[in-house]
Structure 1
C-alpha cells in the first residue's frame, strides 16, 4: 500500500508561520519577496493573506481624499503634478473655504469612508491656514462620524498641537522613498524634514500615517529600506502608492511597474507590518489594473473615489470588487454590506481607521 504523498510548506507559508508567531522579517527576506518569481505569486499571496486575516479578518477600511489646496507649490517633488516646474494641466486654487471642505466631509460620509483626508499642497501651512482647517475639523466632528487625517506639509510643534486639539486623529506625511534615494526625487526639502514633521505630530498626540511611492526609478533596496524605516516609526497606517506618471512632471516618462510586482510590494508590507493598516493608495487602477482585487489579500484599506489630481474608479465599482471577494466594508465601527453600502444586520464593533 502506497503511503500518502505529503508536501512540506513552501518558503512563503513557512515565513508566514514565523510572522504569525511574532517573528520580524529581515531585510534579506524583504528583498526575496520583491525578487520572487511570478510563478510563486499565488503562494506568496496565500501566505500573506493568512497574516492579513488574523489581524483584520475580511474587513476593508475606506478613505476619502479632498484636495483642499491645489498646485501653487514651491517644492520640486518629481512625482507630483502640483510641484514647482510641473506643466501638468491641473486645477490651481488656494485653500478651500469652510463650505467646500464640509461638502467634502459629506461626500466622504456618503462614500462609506471611515476617514476623511484633508490634503493641501505646499511646503507647509501658514498659521492662518492651520486655524482654518482646525475650525472646519471641529465642525466636521460635530456633524459626521468621521475620523480626520490631515496632510498639510511640514508642521511645527504649535501647528501640530492646534490640529490635535481640534480633533484631527492622524497626520499623513509620506516618506515616499528611502533616505538614500530621496534627493533623487526632491531637492527643496530633506528626508529629515519629513521625519521631523512625523515627530512633532506624534508628540502632539496624533497617530502617524506614512508610506511611500513605488516605481519612481528606485531599486528594491530602497523599498525595503523605507519599509523598515516605517517599522521603526511604528506608523498606524501605511499608504502604498504606485507611481502614476503624469504628463508634465519630471517623472512623466517613468513607467516600470507591472501588476505582479505591485502585489509583491503589498505582500512585503504586510509581512513586515503584520498588524498595521496597509492601504492601496494612488496609482491603484493604473498599475494593478485587472488584478486590483488581489491587492486586498495583503492590504486591508484603500481610497474610494478620486485622488488629488487624478481620477479613481467609481465608488460603486469598489463596493462591487469588495463584495466579490466576500469581504466587508467597515465604517464607524460597523460592518457594511459591500454591495448595498448599508449597515449589515450582523454589524459588529471594530476599531475604525
Structure 2
C-alpha cells in the first residue's frame, strides 16, 4: 500500500532520490521530463540536488586546442570541418608542440584543469600519435599536474596504449547521436565504430569521455536511447553539446533548440549520470543564452574559451558567471569524480603468489 507521503512525491523528487542511489530513470520518467510534464524549475532543482551531492559547488574547467583544423575526409553533417564543408573556418595542418604548450599555459593560468588536444580526421596515423606524444610532453613539461585528453577520431590497435604511456589522462570520442539515427548523420563511419574506440580507450587505461550533440532533429525517444547507450559504456565524463548550425553544412539551418529544451536535456543526463562529469560543451552560449548560469546547477564542468572552429564567450566572462552563480573553480589538486568511482578496482593481494587465502 502506498503511503500518503509517497503518493505526494513528485517525479523530479523521485528522480533525484533514484540518482542519489545511482539508479537510472526509466524511459517513461525521462520522456516525461523532456516532454514538459514537470515544471522546469522543479526539474532543475532536482538535478541540482544530485549535482551538489556528488560534486558540491565545484566547476571543472576544460579547454580545447585544435591541433589540426579542417580538411577532414569524414562527412559528419554537423561538422564545419567535414568533407565538402563550405564553412569559412581556419584550415591548417599540425601546429608544433611549442604552440600547443603556449595555448595550454594561458588556459591553465586561467584555472583550466584539463587540456583537450583535438585533431580532425578519421583517425590518427602513427606519425600523428607521435605528434600528440610530443605535444603532451611539451604541455606537461610546464604543467605536470594538468590532465591531457586526446580526441583524434577512431583508434586502431596499440594507439590508445601509446597515448596512455605518453601521459594522456583521457580519450574523448562522442557517440553524438543514437544508433538508429547515425547513418542519417554520417555515412563514412558507423555508430559501432565509435563505440569500439571508446572501449579501446578504456581498455588501455584512458579515462573514457563520450557524449552527444543535440539539436539535430532528434526526438525525445532518441535522446533517451542515446543516454541509455552512453550509460552502458560507463564513461567518466559526458560532454553535452548543442548543435552550432554552421553555414555551409547540411544542418546549417537547424535552429530548433530553446534554453528550456537544453536545460531539460541536461537534467535528464544528470539523472542518467549522477556521479559522472557532465560537461556543458559547444553551443551553450547561443542556445542557453541568459540561462547559462542555471545550467551550472546541472553540469559540473564546462569548456573555457573557444571551441574547435567557433568562438566561445570570453574566459573572463565565464569565470565571472561561475562566481556570480555561487560556484567555485575546481582546483588542480581536487578530485573530480566522487570517491566511490575511484575505489572500484582492488589490486589482488591474496591467493596465488601470496601467503593469504583466495577469496573463494
TM-score (norm: length of structure 2): 0.89
User: What is the distance in 1 between the residues matched to 2:213 and 2:335?
Assistant: 29
User: What is the distance in 1 between the residues matched to 2:336 and 2:192?
Assistant: 32
Contact 2:276 2:337 in 1 (8 A): no
The answer to which of 110-119 and 15-24 deviates more is 15-24
Query: Which secondary structure state, in structure 2, belongs to the residue aligned with residue 61 of structure 1?
Result: strand
Q: What is the aligned partner in structure 2 of residue 42 from structure 1?
A: 41
Matched, 1:97 2:96: yes
Query: Which secondary structure state, in structure 1, belongs to the residue aligned with residue 39 of structure 2?
Result: helix
Contact 2:120 2:153 in 1 (8 A): yes
Q: What is the aligned partner in structure 1 of residue 70 from structure 2?
A: 71
For 1:96-115, what per-residue CA distance to the aligned partner results, in whole angstroms no more than 9, with x for missing partners? 11121111221221221100
Cα 1:351–1:239, aligned 2, differ >3 Å: closer, same or farther?
closer
For 1:19-43, what per-residue CA distance to the aligned partner results, in whole angstroms no more than 9, with x for missing partners? 2234321122111111124x70001
Query: Which secondary structure state, in structure 1, belongs to the residue aligned with residue 296 of structure 2?
Result: helix
User: What is the distance in 1 between the residues matched to 2:296 and 2:170?
Assistant: 23
Contact 1:108 1:115 in 2 (8 A): no
For 1:79-108, what per-residue CA distance to the aligned partner results, in whole angstroms no more than 9, with x for missing partners? 000000110001111111112111122122
Deviation at 1:352, TM superposition (A): 7.7
Gaps of 5+ in 1: 1-6, 334-348
The answer to which of 68-77 and 129-138 deviates more is 129-138
The answer to which of 231-240 and 99-108 deviates more is 99-108
The answer to which of 126-135 and 173-182 deviates more is 126-135
Q: What is the aligned partner in structure 2 of residue 18 from structure 1?
A: 18
Gaps of 5+ in 2: 1-6, 339-360
Matched, 1:350 2:349: no
User: What is the distance in 2 between the residues matched to 1:317 and 1:54?
Assistant: 26
The answer to which of 67-76 and 19-28 deviates more is 19-28
Query: Which secondary structure state, in structure 2, belongs to the residue aligned with residue 331 of structure 1?
Result: coil
Q: What is the aligned partner in structure 2 of residue 245 from structure 1?
A: 245
The answer to which of 134-143 and 310-319 deviates more is 134-143
User: What is the distance in 2 between the residues matched to 1:119 and 1:272?
Assistant: 27
Deviation at 1:329, TM superposition (A): 0.4
Q: What is the aligned partner in structure 2 of residue 230 from structure 1?
A: 230
Deviation at 1:150, TM superposition (A): 0.5
Query: Which secondary structure state, in structure 1, belongs to the residue aligned with residue 112 of structure 2?
Result: coil
User: What is the distance in 2 between the residues matched to 1:21 and 1:236?
Assistant: 17
Q: What is the aligned partner in structure 1 of residue 108 from structure 2?
A: 109
User: What is the distance in 2 between the residues matched to 1:163 and 1:101?
Assistant: 16
User: What is the distance in 1 between the residues matched to 2:19 and 2:189?
Assistant: 36
Q: What is the aligned partner in structure 1 of residue 128 from structure 2?
A: 129
Query: Which secondary structure state, in structure 2, belongs to the residue aligned with residue 181 of structure 1?
Result: helix
Q: What is the aligned partner in structure 1 of residue 195 from structure 2?
A: 195
